[in-house]
Amino acid sequence: MTKKHRLYTSLFSLILSTSLLFACASKKQQSIIEHIQNEYKNTVNLNERYIHNVYGKPDPTSFNRLKRYRSDAYQALMKLRSKYDKSKPLPKTEIKETETKINVYRSYLNVLGATSATKDNIFGF
């Protein structure tokens, strides 16, 4: 092998390994976002079931607060999604903020009597 051939082989290997590294990081970030989006969707579904009397008669005075918590969680999720960049990790503060907003939303539903609000939450308890 000539020096030039070795150089090209080394460069090709470097480029290939770097692209694989970014692909793995990108998949992990997508997985995090998908997981959080699913948690949000599950909480919204819980909210809809609460509003439509699945857990007994809903308290109409709670609707405004539920709308606010839903909006806060949605805005945090959209903010997190806007931070997605294949070449950079997701900011941990954005992840934590989004998880917290969704858990506040779910916790309020639990207080209102939507009993399945405690199942399958982000923190696993």
Distance CA 9, CA 94 (A): 40
In a domain, 61, yes or no: yes
In a domain, 9, yes or no: no
> Domain of 32?
28-118
Q: What is the dihedral of CA 58, 60, 62, 66, to 10 degrees?
A: 80
In a domain, 64, yes or no: yes
Closest CA to 63 of 27, 109, 30, 107: 109
In a domain, 110, yes or no: yes
So what's the pLDDT on residue 26? 67
What is the SS3 assignment for 45?
Answer: helix
Q: Is the dihedral of CA 5, 9, 15, 19 positive or negative?
A: positive
Per the structure, the count of domains in the chain is: 1
In a domain, 66, yes or no: yes
Token representation of residue 12: 């090709």
> What are 66-118's pLDDT values in tens digits?
999 999 999 999 999 998 887 788 889 999 999 999 999 999 999 998 865 44
> What are 34-73's pLDDT values in tens digits?
999 999 999 999 999 999 988 888 999 999 999 999 999 9
- The structure tokens 């709670």 sit at 62
